[in-house]
A and B are shown apart, each in its own frame.
Chain A
Amino acid sequence: MRNLIFFIVTAVVTLLLLDVFLKGVKITPPILKYYHSEYGSLNRPDINYFKSTQGLYIGKTNYDGRFRESYPKRKKDGKTLRILLVGDSFVEGIDVFSRDHFAQYMEDTLRKILNTNVEILNFGRGNCILHASSYYFINYLEKEYDADLVLYFTEFRDILPVASYPSTSFKLNETGTNLVADYSWQKSAEYNLHRKLTSLPLLKYYEDIALCRLGYRAWSGIQTRGFLQLTLGKFYGTLATPDYTYAKYDVPISDLSKKIYDSVMTFNKGQIVFVVRNLPVDATVVKEYFQEKHYPFIDLNEALDKEIIRGTNINAYYFKATQSYGGHWNHAGHKAIGHFLAKKISDHIKEYNTPNYSHE
């Protein structure tokens, strides 16, 4: 009996010490995702986060689950230019520190050029493409936050007629005439597992335990690669190479996407400017649609020649540490994009509809 008590006490103390250590060195960040009853998957607010899959990120989400400074929802005065960034993981930008994010370069450069206070709020979220981000934008961001300018990032995945993200997204109603909310994410296996786990008293706070965080990631790894492949490696066989062809995006822009772009453009507090990304697939049909409808847009092709920063031979997508290509923008990429966007905005600021911002 005494031995059993010794064993239990030692095991608990060891686990506690390991927990403190693993969380202290940041390598077991909480699961970023949590589920909001209305919007579905969102970023967890106020958590320390660490990411090292391509570059390195150490930081914290703000009260809104976003990876940038927490500006108040209401703008201070009319002399402050407030820009909202909406988009996917490129906008979220957690492969570099916040100080190296393109928003920081934009803010610094615009402050100098316009000689005014500039606030850039980052609402980028990994994998959250147009169908879901627009629902969140129209139903939450537009109402809750003051903005003079919204840079709405869009790309090749946005043209498809279906959403594939576990958040409330837009879909077309049965007659195909109006946008309606799609709550199908509530049926997903991951959401239901999460709901079950958090409903159990002992597991309610599983997110705060390093071992559980690791366990969740291990479970995801097993789901992706399979238990036997992970365990037996080459003896089981080589892992199939994912299909990196983008043929399915060589299609016309969907009616759903057109409707969403049109709805986003009804934003009336300030100006919407779309920013079109060009890699891995140049969203030509999106640009054509914007031209046809006279929607203002910035084409990132002007800054990047595929993965190379124009006027240089620097690759904007290559991360030396992990030797990975084609993921997200690296430090040089963020810097180039930040300066490019700042220049574009300052060049056109007088043409934009910004009723709550006056630039003298």
Chain B
Amino acid sequence: MLFNSLVFLVFLGVVLPVFYLLPQRFKKIFLLLASYVFYGYWDWRFCSLLLLSTVMDYYLGHAIYTETNEKKRKRLLHLSLLVNLTLLGFFKYFNFFVDSFAQVFGTQLDSVHLHVILPVGISFYTFQSLSYTFDLYRKKLEPAKSLLDYSVFVSFFPQLVAGPIEKAVHLLPQVEKIKMPDRQYLKEGVILITTGMFKKIIIGDTIGKYVDNVFAEPGNFSSGELICTLIMFAVQIYADFSGYSLIAKGCGKLLGVTLMDNFNQPYLASNITDFWRRWHISLSDWLKDYVYIWWLGGNRKGKFRTYLNLMATMLLGGLWHGANWTFVIWGGIHGAALAFHKFILGDKKVETRFTYKGPASLIKFVFNVFFTFLIVLFAWLFFRAADLKTATTVLSHIFDWTSSDLIGDFIIVTLLYFSVIIFLDAVEYYTNNHAYLLLLKPAIRYGILIPVWTIILVFMYTVGKPAPFIYFQF
């Protein structure tokens, strides 16, 4: 079920009152059922995979935690990793490796190709389950009190299919003590859902009409149009994914659960390290904690190894997004940029928030934000392109410096979308609050909320089939 569909609003309209009215002891069971209905709406067969992954990780987790023999614990951890990554690998990477093998050795392996559907959100819930196992192994967490608690933690519908990838240490205790949301939670929930819907439906989905068409056949567009479209994609993916995360967080609030922030005004980052503290925070945290620090050793093994570790982590992050070399390149660009930033930064602390110290500091900040955005934009090209051929076509056409009759229209459209998204971020940055509308007087707040919801609802009825979230494919 898509958050931006009318059926989801109906679903929420049914789930919330029932959840509030049910006695405490039935709340979790109901939430679990609702989450499986939400997930099974795509294809009920996916539910079995989710169930399998949940049951297996719950019992393996328990065994890892209670086992006293270190060797056996390690073996159990490896078993959990093997099963989770095999499932993920089978559904997500099998064809990629077959294709790559065939390309390298110049063979035809079409018969080996599998026609499997990628279960929605498999990367997200697999990583979430793994975090539980890892934390149990490291004794940073106690096992879930019951299979029901753990099942709700894995399948919690607001964040099941596209995150935030919650660590058990944060979400599990909230699930175990699930509570009725208070008034503040409800207000925040509504505001977050509204902002998320606005970002997704009014910005992300509409701008996608330009981006999809241009990237489908970039050879038909001029340099200026391609540059504008690349900027539009930067807006689209941010509006789409941060919109999803806000709706997820808002739904969580309405169910009495606080999910982590997944985005914090990433395009206002003044360096690439700062960008990764603001973009898809749950994934970067996951990769930082479990891959960069725990597995690779972080910066404890010398400077050169630190740079290599950063690169390896980001390459893995790229591959997490999908089985395509374009994602590997995207990860590589970010890895190289992070390593280079680490190199020039030395032991200095990363600047994460702008403080005004005169006009020079503002100019420096704007320049840094712009430069960081350029790096991110360049990397987006590879992220969006369907394959390397498309990416090189876009690049070569950009450097043709051709003009066109529609460049004026493209510039205006790009500027409008970009200004709206930056304006919303600037307000968030300034107020340091995602639910900033709550800071306004109720009359003004409702004066904004009602027209926005009117437009959102009318939009929902104009599109027969709501556009899926970009991150669902991952």
Interface residues of A (CB under 8 A from B): 2-4, 6-11, 13-15, 18, 21-22, 24-27, 52, 55-56, 58-59, 96-100, 211, 214-215, 217-218, 221-222, 224-225, 230-235, 319-322, 330-331
Given A25-B413, A25-B416, are A221 and B462 also a contact pair (CB < 8 Å)?
yes
Q: How far is the CB of B142 from chain A (nearest CB, A)?
A: 39
Question: What 1/0 flags go to B84-126 for Cβ under 8 Å of A?
Answer: 0000000000000000000000000000000000000000000
In whole angstroms, how far apart are the Cα atoms of A225 and B206 in the complex?
21
Stretch of B23-31, B266-274, B392-400, B445-453 on the interface side: B445-453
In whole angstroms, how far apart are the Cα atoms of A3 and B6 in the complex?
31
What are 11 sample pairs from A and B whose C-beta atoms fall under 8 A apart? A6-B441, A6-B443, A10-B443, A14-B452, A18-B202, A27-B206, A211-B458, A214-B462, A217-B462, A319-B216, A322-B212
Q: Which residues of B contact A21 (CB under 8 A)?
A: 416, 420
Partner of B6, one of A24, A25, A233: A233
In whole angstroms, how far apart are the Cα atoms of A25 and B209 in the complex?
11
In whole angstroms, how far apart are the Cα atoms of A10 and B404 in the complex?
40
Q: With CB as the reference atom, state the residue of chain A lying closest to B461.
A: A218
Interface size on B, residues (CB 8 A): 44
Q: How far is the CB of A222 from chain B (nearest CB, A)?
A: 6
Q: With CB as the reference atom, state the residue of chain A lying closest to B409.
A: A58
- Is B461 in contact with A320, judged by CB distance below 8 angstroms? no
B405 in the interface (beta carbon within 8 A): yes
Partner of B447, one of A8, A55, A232: A8
In whole angstroms, how far apart are the Cα atoms of A183 and B202 in the complex?
40
- Is B443 in contact with A99, judged by CB distance below 8 angstroms? no
In whole angstroms, how far apart are the Cα atoms of A23 and B136 in the complex?
54
- Is A6 in contact with B444, judged by CB distance below 8 angstroms? yes
Partner of A321, one of B213, B409, B450, B451: B213
Question: What 1/0 flags go to B412-426 for Cβ under 8 Å of A?
Answer: 110011001000000
Partner of B416, one of A7, A14, A24, A330: A24
- 11 additional A-B pairs beyond A217-B462, A233-B7, beta carbons within 8 Å, are A24-B413, A25-B206, A25-B207, A52-B213, A59-B406, A211-B454, A218-B461, A230-B6, A234-B7, A234-B41, A321-B213
In whole angstroms, how far apart are the Cα atoms of A175 and B274 in the complex?
82
Q: How far is the CB of B233 from chain A (nearest CB, A)?
A: 13
Interface residues of B (CB under 8 A from A): 5-7, 10, 41, 202, 206-207, 209-210, 212-217, 220, 404-406, 409, 412-413, 416-417, 420, 441-444, 446-448, 450-452, 454-455, 458-459, 461-464
- Is B444 in contact with A7, judged by CB distance below 8 angstroms? yes
- Is B7 in contact with A4, judged by CB distance below 8 angstroms? no
In whole angstroms, how far apart are the Cα atoms of A211 and B451 in the complex?
10
Q: With CB as the reference atom, state the residue of chain A lying closest to B7.
A: A233
- Is A14 in contact with B7, judged by CB distance below 8 angstroms? no
Q: How far is the CB of B444 from chain A (nearest CB, A)?
A: 5
Q: With CB as the reference atom, state the residue of chain A lying closest to B412.
A: A24
In whole angstroms, how far apart are the Cα atoms of A231 and B461 in the complex?
8
In whole angstroms, how far apart are the Cα atoms of A322 and B211 in the complex?
11
- Is B210 in contact with A56, judged by CB distance below 8 angstroms? yes
- Is A11 in contact with B6, judged by CB distance below 8 angstroms? no
For the complex of A and B, the 6 pairs showing the least CB-CB separation, nearest first, are A10-B447, A218-B461, A320-B216, A56-B213, A321-B216, A233-B7
Partner of B461, one of A98, A211, A222, A233: A222
In whole angstroms, how far apart are the Cα atoms of A27 and B409 in the complex?
12
Q: How far is the CB of B417 from chain A (nearest CB, A)?
A: 6
- Is A233 in contact with B5, judged by CB distance below 8 angstroms? yes
- Is A218 in contact with B406, judged by CB distance below 8 angstroms? no
In whole angstroms, how far apart are the Cα atoms of A234 and B42 in the complex?
9
- Is A331 in contact with B464, judged by CB distance below 8 angstroms? no
Q: Which residues of B contact A6 (CB under 8 A)?
A: 441, 443-444, 447
